[in-house]
Amino acid sequence: MLFLENISVFFVEMINASLTVLESFPPSEPPLASIFILIISFFVSLGSTLISRYMIDIDRLAVLTRETKKHNQLRMQSMRTADTKLKLKYEKNASRMKKMQSELTMMRMKPLLITMLPLMLFFVVFSGIYRPTIEDGIVIKGSLPAVIPFALPTDILLHIGDNLNMEGWGNVFVPDYIWWYFGGSITFGSIFQKVAGLQPD
């Protein structure tokens, strides 16, 4: 009887804990908000890589990448040296290379068309969440994706965030949630694509 009471108490506590988590979901303050967005970018990058790996002919991708790379190197060499023979060789293969580059572009675009929908959904859902209300450079209210605990030169960083004053933090840099997501996505995506053979040398 005592065992059943303990089990029931355990389940009640688990349900209460789950409800508490759901009430504060998604997390609105760093570091949980930062980690949450990075987790989202991790799984979107992983899913995109798996779809690409399934849809793309890896051997054909390697051939196209290698040939177009050689062609571009030949073009640069002919421009740099002004060698007539190199220029003629480049122009002779220009039409075939144009077709190969077009095929390579289409090959990479097909998986992107599938992954664009969840990506757009992510931006729509979270654009209203991670948008702080600011007055005179001071955070009044709102959720923050991440906080870098010092100011950064925003003009050099192409306005990927803002230097803001936060109570208890002072002058900090708050990156825009889209750029925070893209930072994680580019990092994870490049690793996954390399492992999956989608970035041939």
Q: pLDDT band at 21, cuts 50/70/90?
A: very low
* Torsion, CA 102, CA 105, CA 110, CA 115, rounded to 10: -160
Q: pLDDT band at 22, cuts 50/70/90?
A: very low
Pick from 12-26, 43-57, 59-73, 119-133: least confident: 12-26
Of 160 and 64, more confident: 64
Rg (CA), the chain: 25
pLDDT, position 60: 87
Burial 152-162 (b: 16+ CB within 10 A, else e): beeeeeeeebb
**Residue 174 confidence (pLDDT) above 70:** yes
- In degrees, to the nearest 5, what angle opens at C-alpha 160 toward C-alphas 156 and 162? 90
The mean predicted confidence, pLDDT, of the chain is 76
Of 25 and 163, more confident: 163
**Residue 35 confidence (pLDDT) above 50:** yes
Locate the domains of the chain by residue range: 29-195
**Residue 18 confidence (pLDDT) above 50:** no
pLDDT, position 65: 86
Distance separating alpha carbons of residues 19 and 40, to the nearest angstrom: 21
Q: How far is CA 99 from CA 95, 102, 103, 118, 201, in A?
A: 7, 5, 6, 31, 20
Pick from 21-35, 113-127, 162-176, 177-191: least confident: 21-35
Task: State mean pLDDT over 76-100.
Answer: 78
**Residue 25 confidence (pLDDT) above 80:** no
**Residue 107 confidence (pLDDT) above 80:** yes
Q: Which of 176, 170, 179 is nearest to 137 (CA)?
A: 170
Task: Mark residue 197 as left, alpha or beta (left: phi above 0; alpha: psi -120 to 50; beta: remaining).
Answer: left
**Residue 144 confidence (pLDDT) above 60:** yes
Contacts of 165 (CB under 8 A, 6+ apart): 137, 138, 139, 171, 172
